[in-house]
Chain A
Amino acid sequence: GQNIDQPTEMTATEGAIVQINCTYQTSGFNGLFWYQQHAGEAPTFLSYNVLDGLEEKGRFSSFLSRSKGYSYLLLKELQMKDSASYLCAVRAESFQKLVFGTGTRLLVSP
């Protein structure tokens, strides 16, 4: 079966750093994606990891450990506009099929 776990909700302060964790148990692994989704909008791509390690892209970084079935998304210098849901998705046994977690709703306060 496929199982992806993320915290339901997190809160943080503007300017701070927040880490959103994702653990997965899937049949096969061909990469992990992070998407951002603002309320009432479509998800948009943030990052992709297929090898172990850290991928950095501006204020956002994503880490992957395949042996532990674990990833995190690190958001630095938080801004109010970062308030959104963050979706972890794993490409499991099929190259086209993505399995999504339920998402982590992040609330950034002043």
Chain B
Amino acid sequence: NAGVTQTPKFQVLKTGQSMTLQCAQDMNHEYMSWYRQDPGMGLRLIHYSVGAGITDQGEVPNGYNVSRSTTEDFPLRLLSAAPSQTSVYFCASSYRGEKLFFGSGTQLSVL
């Protein structure tokens, strides 16, 4: 039982590049979400999903896309990376909106 698996752990991009952050959970959780964490800002919700085929925007969705084709996977796509997207990204899942289980995080730098 691995919990929430998030890859990669570190990534450096150039401005304008695109990439996908992977997130998978093996707890059969319906709810999955992506957060970014910046110094002095706390965790901010980017996108979330309440089940396969259903996604919705959070507080800071611009520049990011998500999809939920299966219960297990919830990838986050950066369409055209910008320096403002330099951050630590966390994927999380929960059972019906109860406590969140977080992945180990991705430290992303956009140059």
Contact = CB atoms under 8 A, between A and B. Distances in A.
User: Do the two chains belong together in a single complex?
Assistant: yes
Interface of A: 4, 33, 35, 41-45, 48, 87, 89, 91, 95-103
Contacts of B45: 97-99
Interface string B22-64: 0000000001010100001111110010100000001000000
A42 B93 CA distance: 13
Contact of A101 (B35, B42, B102, B104): B42
Contact of A44 (B31, B48, B97, B102): B102
Interface residues of B, number: 22
A101 B58 CA distance: 16
Given A33-B100, A99-B45, A103-B42, 14 more contacts: A41-B105, A42-B103, A42-B105, A45-B99, A48-B98, A96-B48, A96-B50, A97-B45, A97-B48, A98-B43, A98-B100, A100-B42, A102-B40, A102-B42
A42 B102 contact: yes
Nearest to A45: B99
Contacts of B50: 96
B74 interface: no
B104 A42 contact: yes
Contact of A43 (B40, B48, B102): B102
